[in-house]
Structure 1
Amino acid sequence: MHTRRPFRTLALALGTAGLLISGCSSGSSSSGAASPAQAASVSPSPVPAALKSYYAQHLSWRDCGVSGFQCTTMKAPLDYAKPDGGEIKLAVSRKKATGPGKRIGSLLVNPGGPGGSAIGYLQGYAAIGYPAQVRARYDMVAIDPRGVARSEPVECLTGPQMDVYTQVDQTPDDDAEVTKLSGAFKKFATGCEKRSGEVLPHVSTEETARDMDMLRALLGDEHLNYVGASYGTFLGATYAELFPGRTGRLVLDGAMDPSLSSIELNRDQTAGFETAFQSFAQDCVRKSDCPLGTTSADEAATRLKKLFTELDAKPIPTGESRDLGESLATTGVIAAMYDESAWPQLREALTAADAGDGSGLLALADSYYEREPSGEYANLMYANAAVNCLDLPPAFATPQDVTKALPSFEKASPVFGEGFAWAALNCAYWPVPATGTAHRIEAEGAAPIVVVGTTRDPATPYHWAESLADQLSSGTLLTYEGDGHTAYGRGSDCIDTAINTYLLEGTPPPADKKCS
């Protein structure tokens, strides 16, 4: 289990990120028309001379073999501080505006992670699931961030090695188990350095934001129009900070707070999952088939904790070579917290686990880790660690630091706190020092930016959205009073109408608008 892995919904994000682009053949290329100018009080800064050749490159678009989609490859400097020191190739896909109506420009999308495939999200959901009027007037575009999926992906472990890693006990009971967990984190980090050492220092959010600006220019757009979910909100806010004069219509859904340290982010997210679990538990105990009791959320929490303790002592069979222990079971429960539509599946999985069958919780855990039936894993978790550990200094430097922090994590969540605290130790052993720091993002001079928060969001707690909207000089907060991770396209006509109006007309919703 990794913490600080904000992501979009289980059904949409985890289900689409594994799709592949294949069968590219020669086709025509087109840069498209420029976006209309957006209101901004600062002028775009000129492109540095050392980057002009990158900003002037030609994108050769090809048929991707997926209906209506084109693909291409964009070159970027591996190291923006040394543009002549080598290149990285980044995969891009788009689906052109369908009409009717005048084309507005390109709409870049990112589902979060970090480590989620934006191209998988585009092809599996956004380009077919976003409202028709938005798809009619925007070219829908995605770029897999550096180190992710098709863009020179970070690799760390083999499939069998990852199977072992995901089963390591993350609630150690003694020094021997602490040593084993620390050793697993070290082996993970060493594997990343061995397999992807060249790219590891260059997968930061800032570098990806710079890649996005280059793509904006190559698409022929004066301003970047963007919908980012979860971690994608941090990416979008970083873009606005770097390029306020080039910021167009930005929707930041399921917002992160860039001013928080790594330990604060992890502890807040722990509390967020506790809030989500309480909501699930309150729903569950009202049902006659609830495997966690039928009296109260507190009873449900006690019974779930008891199940975890039993699985820690004695894993149960799953019908596969992997048994279900506490770590995989916890991950399975966490996966279902991302989207309330997964709650029935979680109830069934917990009922089966009580009867000695761990297959249901294992399936949920596998969806979280993007494990294929073949035993291979997508690079989601590898890229997730690589970006997180580069963006901020580690939450903890030693196991002793974790031990000192345990009470605050367990206060945040009696059910998940201990595991989340120990999981936050992973960056302590990272082979590349962090290059980013926690700081407020104001993006002075940017066009209006819509920040969306869900009140019972597990992965990006609501107060993060409140904070980001307050930090951004042009931020407007849009609130969804409900469950699950992110809000756009999840069934609220109020949310969707507000965002669609902003994307199509440039008019943000009224300040502090609330939807349910």
Structure 2
Amino acid sequence: MKKSHVAIVLVALLAGVGLGLLLFDDDDAPATTAGWIPPDPTGESVAAGLESYYEQDLGWEECGRNQCTWVTVPVDYDDPAGETTRLRVSVVPADGEGGRSLFVNPGGPGGSAIEFADQFAALVGDDVQQVYDVVGMDPRGVGESTPLECFDGARFDDYVAQDPTPDDPEEQARYVQEISELAAACEQNSGALAAHVSTVEVARDLDVVRALLGEEKLDWFGASYGTQLGATYATLFPERTGRMVLDGAVDPTLDAFESAMAQTTGFQRAVESYAAWCAEQGDCPLGDDPAVGVDRLTSFLAALDVRPLPGLGDRLLTEGIAFYGVALPLYNEGSWDFLSQALELALDGDGSGLMYASDLYFDRQDDGSYGSNLGQVITAVSCLDSTDRPELDDVFAQVDRFEQASPIFGRALAWGAAGCSAWPFTSDDPAPQLDGAGAPPILVLGTTRDPATPYESAVALAEQLESGMLITRDGDGHTAYTSGNQCIADTVDRFLLDGTVPEADPRC
């Protein structure tokens, strides 16, 4: 499905992005209940060779207001006696008596579930906060778990800044070389882990953690790519699946180009919606005519390919960096004011606003380091999950179709579909057809003008899952639950609290 490098990154739901860029200072973080007692493991039967992982003793410790532990899992589930890796797990205790664990994941792949758990716990309904301990397990290779290490900060700067729309054979060769060099760096710095960060392996990790937390069923809230992870778990372990919510769903059946085309359509809808909104506000940097404004933005991005603008410090705003700088604010309608301010600066020759947004997207720090490896993990995971690897000739045959669908995003996303062409690793544990056969009802949430995971993908996933139930939000932005739509919030909360499934899509 998703491919690197542009097409992959644009589907990421960074922790906080889908939550209105919610950021906490430590003093502002939500309080949690003291005295949380870790549950006993379930003691269930497991596959031969994995017993020690399901029976390991956990050493719990306070981590701020939460409780944290380390869990050991095999790097390769086909070789459980071989090399291992560590997962970091954080539990945000319920405000009340608790009694159930709700596992969460923000997407990516590569977003930190630990960071997301804190934010999610502060935003769910009060009744849900009374019942659920919110669990964040950073996936293998991600966040506080043993990280996948590839490029250093300076080298990744170059990777992000590269031309996303290579125009000539030299630029196209460099595009492929960048992917090859990223893979080589991952293998050199992370060894076997680079070939074992697939979605199926993360789903198997979730089952180990579920059992160690004493839960017979996995209750789950997954956003964006987290919907694919949840659907994978429900397919592998339907009898162990509890109440599952998949928000901002992806369609796992799409090949590389059709997945990229879905995103192209979604982002074009989003930018047109933004341009119309901007024109209504008055003093829009793109002008009063939304169609003309979209054309102006298209021309601006293309001009950066020839003449980058001054950005932050001594860094230049390239077309590649600006691409992410425009994409990030489109995830959330609450960020459109910022996008207008950044575009006003950029059209006056100052690229600092768009570069700031790009840096926020990738969690780039002021010292040039990166607080997250999402921009690299996302390629490793998506390419391991991929079954088709388009080559450059395939892009040439598709690029006109993509540009017609979106003059702004189409060309870059068409090239992004070939982002796994030089990836050397393949998964020994390929993803099954995701149907969740035998699992209880699963809510699948889709937003009509979601830029990153278009509404059509939610419709498709709900149909593919045997027990899928589509819940529609009519609106803008990425994901639905924390969008401020009370109809959506009530529907999800009732489901999490007592398993209530609507008789039909409420179309909120």
**Match for 2:409 among 402, 409, 416?**
416
Q: Which amino acid aligns with 1:109?
A: V
Q: Which amino acid aligns with 1:200?
A: A
Q: Distance in 1 between matches of 2:205 and 2:308?
A: 45
Partner of 2:38: 31
Counterparts of 1:116-515 in structure 2 under 5 Å? 116-123=111-118, 125-295=119-289, 297-377=290-370, 378-397=372-391, 399-435=392-428, 440-515=433-508
Task: Measure how far apart 1:129 and its partner are.
Answer: 2.3
1:17·1:119 contact (CA, 8 Å) conserved in 2? no
Q: Which runs of 5+ in 2 are unaligned?
A: 27-33
Matched, 1:95 2:92: yes
Task: Measure how far apart 1:302 and its partner are.
Answer: 0.8
Q: Distance in 2 between matches of 1:106 and 1:198?
A: 31
Task: Measure how far apart 1:450 and its partner are.
Answer: 0.6
2:445·2:480 contact (CA, 8 Å) conserved in 1? yes
From the superposition, tell whether residues 15 and 196 of structure 1 become closer, same or farther in structure 2 (CA, over 3 Å). Answer: farther
The share of aligned pairs that are identical, in percent, is 44
**Match for 1:80 among 77, 80, 96?**
77
1:253-292: CA deviations, max 9, x gaps? 0011111122221221111111111111111122221111
Partner of 1:3: 7
Moved more, 282-291 or 448-457: 282-291
Structure 1 ranges of 4+ moved more than 3 A:
11-19, 27-31, 434-440
Partner of 1:57: 56
1:369·1:380 contact (CA, 8 Å) conserved in 2? yes
1:388-410: CA deviations, max 9, x gaps? 0100134422x222111112221
Q: Distance in 1 between matches of 2:256 and 2:426?
A: 14
Q: Distance in 1 between matches of 2:162 and 2:76?
A: 35
Task: Measure how far apart 1:131 and its partner are.
Answer: 2.0
Q: Distance in 1 between matches of 2:37 and 2:273?
A: 48
Q: Distance in 1 between matches of 2:405 and 2:264?
A: 6
From the superposition, tell whether residues 279 and 30 of structure 1 become closer, same or farther in structure 2 (CA, over 3 Å). Answer: same
Q: Distance in 2 between matches of 1:423 and 1:466?
A: 24
Q: Distance in 2 between matches of 1:208 and 1:380?
A: 15
2:228·2:250 contact (CA, 8 Å) conserved in 1? yes
1:49-69: CA deviations, max 9, x gaps? 2111111112211011x12x0
Q: Give the count of matched residue pairs.
A: 493
Q: Distance in 1 between matches of 2:89 and 2:326?
A: 34
1:34·1:222 contact (CA, 8 Å) conserved in 2? no
SS class of match (1:249): strand
Q: Distance in 2 between matches of 1:55 and 1:149?
A: 23
Q: Distance in 1 between matches of 2:336 and 2:297?
A: 14
TM-score between both structures, scaled by the size of structure 1: 0.91
Q: Distance in 1 between matches of 2:148 and 2:292?
A: 42
Q: Which amino acid aligns with 2:95?
A: T
Task: Measure how far apart 1:190 and its partner are.
Answer: 1.8
Q: Distance in 1 between matches of 2:471 and 2:86?
A: 36
Q: Distance in 2 between matches of 1:95 and 1:60?
A: 16
2:41·2:211 contact (CA, 8 Å) conserved in 1? no
From the superposition, tell whether residues 152 and 362 of structure 1 become closer, same or farther in structure 2 (CA, over 3 Å). Answer: same
Task: Measure how far apart 1:166 and its partner are.
Answer: 1.2
Q: Which runs of 5+ in 1 are unaligned?
A: 20-26, 36-43
Partner of 1:41: none
From the superposition, tell whether residues 319 and 99 of structure 1 become closer, same or farther in structure 2 (CA, over 3 Å). Answer: closer
1:320-350: CA deviations, max 9, x gaps? 1111121111111111111111111001111
Q: Distance in 1 between matches of 2:107 and 2:25?
A: 14
> CA RMSD of the aligned region, Å?
2.2
Task: Measure how far apart 1:33 and its partner are.
Answer: 7.2
Moved more, 75-84 or 403-412: 403-412
From the superposition, tell whether residues 446 and 106 of structure 1 become closer, same or farther in structure 2 (CA, over 3 Å). Answer: same
Task: Measure how far apart 1:382 and its partner are.
Answer: 1.3
From the superposition, tell whether residues 231 and 241 of structure 1 become closer, same or farther in structure 2 (CA, over 3 Å). Answer: same
1:356-384: CA deviations, max 9, x gaps? 10000001111112211111112111111
